[in-house]
Structures are given as structure tokens and as C-alpha cells.
Structure 1
Amino acid sequence: MVAINKYVLGASMVGTFFGASVLLKDYVGGGVCPSKAKIEGKTVIVTGANTGIGKETALELARRGGRIIMACRDMGKCENAAREVRGKTLNHNVFAKHLDLASTKSIKEFAKNILKEEHHIDVLINNAAVMRCPHWKTEDGFEMQFGVNHLGHFLLTNLLLDRLKESGQSRIINVSSLAHIVGEIDFQDLNWEKKKYDTKAAYCQSKLANVLFTNELAKRLQGTGVTVNSLHPGVADTELGRHTGMHQSAFSSTVLGEIYSILE
């Protein structure tokens, strides 16, 4: 009887743990979009679309009939992802384009080509990000997380802004993170040159910058027909945590996702 009680207690504890994990995942993961709207004739740019949230976003919007531009740094992976999306959706208006958000030269070249090739841009989804990488610098000398997650998208958005305005009822979506709530912007040392580098704090700073940029841009674009939103993507099994080690655990990457950066 004692052995049985111990077994039951152990099983109960395991069940409670996994039950709480599922509830946590559901809570931070948010709801499922109920919309079945089609977007035929709409042009959508998704950065960081070769994997994770960006790839799934491109896939879903391609299913809805959009003209999808998958903007990625690694063209090999991007071409493979675009081919997969075309195959799954039978939408041949899915294109891979090179964009390195750690390079202002690359961003300007990408924007120049887009403005030359696309007569309208209906949705810009600034999704690409790096999380808790070593103290790397971008090509232009900016701290990598702030440079890619915020500055790169800031430049890209502004270079495409006139075309977005011209397109009428367009949208800009900045993928931020719940991590922004503990972020602080150090205007005296954005590049972490005067203090010891903290990968977590640097990531949170970049995600807060996403939200602040979104809020200010939304104010400036009132009355233009351009809607600007930022979002926390919820729990997702992505490669974002490749520099933290959490991606090596199927459980932690699926259940905890981005909130790892806050709760650690």
C-alpha cells in the first residue's frame, strides 16, 4: 500500500507539473486567429522568413493568396523555405530575397530593389531577430541585438514608408516580445561599450525599442491609412534561443519559448 501511495503521489506530481505547463503555454501563447480572410493582390514582406515564426507567417499568408516576399540573410535557407511554401500552398507568388539586417548597405540595396520591383507594399512584417548572442557587432559597429532587432528594421521601415503610404490601408507589424517589460534603454551606452555585456538585458533593450518605435510611428502615421502594431508572438518552437541552449530541449523550447529570457 505504501509503494502504491508513493507511485500515485509521484504520478500526481508529474501530472500536475505537465498540466501547469500546458496552462502556462496556453496563457502566454494567446488565441488562434479566427479570420479566414483572403489577401489576393496584396504584397507582403516578411523578414527572417526562412524559419520559425517568419516561415509559418509566410506559409499562412501564402495560403490566403498573397504575394509573399521572404527576406532573409541566408539565401540558401530562404530559397529552400520559399520552395517549400510554394509547394504546400500552390501559390507561385512566393519569392526569396536577400536582406541582412546587420548591414545598412544590404538594407538599402534590398529597399532599392523592392521599390523598383513592387508597385505597392500592403504589409511589412518586421519579424527577424537574434536573441542573447555573444557580444557581436553589426557590419556598421552596432551591438548585434539592438542593431538587428531594432535599428535594421527601423531603417528598412523608413526606406519603404512612402510606398506603404501610397498603397493605402497598409500595415506595419513589428514582432517584439514580452521581454520588453523588463527592458531599459541606456541612451548613454546603447552598444555596451562602457559596461559589462549582459545578453539578456541587451535583448530586452532591443525588444523595448521595438515597442517604443511602434508607438511613436503609429502616432506619426495617424490619418495616413497606415496601421502600425507591435506584438508578443507567444510561445513558439523556434530557433531563436540557439545561443541560450534552450533549443536543445524540446520541452523548454516548446513550452517556455521567449519567456525564458524573462524568467531566467
Structure 2
Amino acid sequence: MASKGTIIVTGANGGLGSAIVQTILSKPDLASNYTGLYAVRKAATATKLQETLSKAPSSHKHETVDLDLGSLANVRKVAADINARVAKGDLPRIRALILNAGYQDHSRLVMSEDGFEMSWQVNFLSNMLLTLLLLQSMDAQEGRILVIGSWAHNIEDKRNNATNAYKDPRYPTLYPGAEALAKGQWSRPEEDPSSNSGFRRYGASKLCVIMFCQELANRIAKDPQLSNISVIGLDPGGMPTDIARRAGFFLGSVVMKVVVPVIAAVSVRINGNGMFRPAWKSAADAVRACFEIEAHRGELLHLDGTAELEIAKEARDETKRRELWEYGLEAARIQEGDTALANWK
């Protein structure tokens, strides 16, 4: 049977990413009728993904792809290869682009080889570049683009009260400007040596990617060729994954591997969209958003699990979104011919 389309999952070796792959494999219609393209930083060391795929049904066509979101050149290379294969008919058009990969540091500030703060590049800029490049290969009638967000993108979200990161009066906003975020000039470790400095940068990067999604949805809605593509943001809640592995032993190991799993297992029975959720629940929400709910076209659909949730006030600011979009185009060196989006400038 011919494949109905391609499902791309980035960060497929992570806790949520591998759970999304497992969810796809558990659904016969998806596993048998769609081709999986699972992107990881290094396929040779992607043990979680390898273990998950070892149980894949024989009917599931899939590949593992090396994708380093810390390198814009690598993002371009991977996207060019996918576009070429789709154009030749060797790979089905993209039915779901699930942008799950993420980066979070806490006390350190790491710059990418491209000269950008790593959280900002991995969580926002590389996703912007990858998405715009791959639009030409999307299923123009049923395609869905889903970005994994976070409550951390909203400085007013009460769930952030669990930390003191957003209570410091020196940081009244998560968007001090694209340049400050891109160049790592904001919430630096020397200003705040605690883990809150990195958490703020993470939250700001998630704000930027939600701002991108809102702007992309608006532009796609006016595109005569792409207007049926849905753009979705998903807050997966707090999960016991390895996203905090750079946070030190207590948070990275004790809290995330011992405390959160217990809380999440209990919480999901009380409220499926609660603050903490098992990775399997959020993975199911991601697959649901891409394949099981009615297409949401014309504007961004932002979900908190299965419930609709309004994006942050700063993400609704058209002036800020425009500034970020233009800065992102320049930072990623996006030029005429790079994207199928008509109104990309």
C-alpha cells in the first residue's frame, strides 16, 4: 500500500520524542499508512529511539535522520535532502511536522557555532528555518505543523510560580528584543548565577517560537497555495524527561527522575491537563492534534494538552512578532527561493 504521507518528529530520542514515536507505532492506521522520518542529533547514539523502533510493526516504513539544530548549515542540508526526495517522489509529502526537539540549560550560557544563544537557536531559529524550508514539501491540503511549547513562554502563567525565575524585578519581560536574546545579552549567569538565568532564556526562546507560530499561521492563512495547512502549538505540561539534564544532580536526577514521575502518574488520573503529566499522555496529545481533531485553519491553535489555551500577551503583540520575524529571516539568511510561503518577507 502506498504511504499516505510522511510524519517528521524532531528530538525523537528524547523522553517526549520517543513517546510520540511509540504512540505512532501503537496506532495501526498511522504505523501502516505513514512513513516515519525520525530526526535525532546523532542516530548512532539514539538508544531510546532504537529500542522503540525495535518493536515497530513490519508494515511501518521509517528512517532515522541526523539533525543538529545547533547548526543552521545542517538544518539546511537536511531540509534540502527531504525536499529533493519529496520532489522525486521517493518520499511522500509531509502530513505532520512535529517540532519536538528542545534545549534547556540552567546556569551556563552556551553559544552555537552560528553565534547565537543555544536555547534561542535550537528552540526558535532552527525551527523557523526548518519549517520555512520544508513548506514546499508539506501536504498542502491536510498538512499540520505542530510545535512543542511550554507554559514558560508566558510570564503571567501562574505555573511559573513554582520557581522564582519570573519574580525578579530586573526581568519584567521575556522579550527584551530579538538581538538581546539571540546574542545571549539578557539574563546572563554573571547577572544571576542561579538556575533561574537559564530558565528565563528557555522561557524566552519558547515565547519566540510561539510568536513565530502565530505569525506563520497568519501568513499561511493568506497564502493561496498553503492556506489549508494547520499550525498548532502544544503545551505538554511538566514531564519526567531529560530536558533538565544540564541542571545539576538534584533537579536533573532526583526531581525529574524520582519526584516528577510519581506526581505525574497521580496527577494525570485527577486532571489529564494538569501541571504534571507522563510523557505518554503528552505524546498522545501531540498525535491527537496532528491526526485526530478537526483541521484548524486561518489562525494558530494553541493547546494545553487537549484544552485550548490563549498564548501569552507578548506573543499577541503584532509589533514584536514582526520584529522577531524580520530578525529571524536575517539571522537564518533566508532568501528568495528558500521557502514556498508567498508572503515570507
Q: TM-score range by the shorter chain?
A: 0.7 to 0.9
- Deviations along 1:117-149, whole A, 9 cap, x unmatched? 234111101100011252111110100000101
Q: Tell me which residue corresponds to 1:173.
A: 146
Gaps of 5+ in 1: 1-39
Q: Secondary structure at the match of 2:94?
A: coil
Matches within 5 A, 1:57-96: 57-63=20-26, 64-65=30-31, 66-78=34-46, 81-82=49-50, 84-96=52-64
- Report what 1:232 is aligned to: 235
Match of 2:218 in 1: 219
The alignment status of 1:196 with 2:188, answered yes or no, reads yes
Task: Choose from 102, 109, 112 the match for 2:77.
Answer: 109
Q: 1:195 to 1:248 in 2, by over 3 A?
A: closer
**Pair 89,253 (structure 1): closer, same or farther in 2 beyond 3 Å:** farther
- Scaled by the length of structure 2, the TM-score of the pair is 0.59
Larger radius of gyration: 1
Q: CA deviation at 1:186?
A: 2.0
Identity of counterpart residues, as a percentage? Answer: 28
Matched, 1:148 2:122: yes
Give the aligned partner of residue 123 of structure 1: 96
> 99-108 or 236-245, which moves further after superposition?
236-245
> Secondary structure of the equivalent of 2:221?
coil
Q: Which has the higher contact order (CA 8 A, sep 6+)?
A: 2
CA distance in 2 between counterparts of 1:150 and 1:160 reads 15
Correspondence for 1:25:
none
> Is the aligned partner of 1:136 residue 2:126?
no
Distance 1:226 1:92, change over 3 A: same
Structure 1 moving runs of 4+ over 3 Å: 88-92
**What is the Cα deviation at residue 195 of structure 1?**
6.0
Q: Secondary structure at the match of 1:242?
A: coil
CA distance in structure 1 between the aligned counterparts of 2:111 and 2:259, rounded to whole angstroms: 28
CA displacement 1:12-50 (0-9 Å, x = unmatched): xxxxxxxxxxxxxxxxxxxxxxxxxxxx62311000001
Contact 1:238–1:253 under 8 Å retained in 2 = no
Contact 1:44 1:68 in 2 (8 A): yes
RMSD of Structure 2 on Structure 1 (CA):
2.6
| Number of positions where the alignment pairs a residue of Structure 1 with one of Structure 2 | 221
In 2, the alpha carbon distance for the partners of 1:139 and 1:102 equals: 7
SS of residue in 2 equivalent to 1:147: helix
Matched, 1:158 2:132: yes
Q: What code does the residue aligned with 1:101 have?
A: L
Equivalent residue number for residue 11 of structure 1:
none
Distance across 2 between alignment mates of 1:46 and 1:194:
31
How far apart, CA to CA, are the structure 1 residues paired with 2:110 and 2:41? Answer: 16
Secondary structure at the residue paired with 2:111?
coil
**Displacement of 1:234 after TM fit?**
1.6
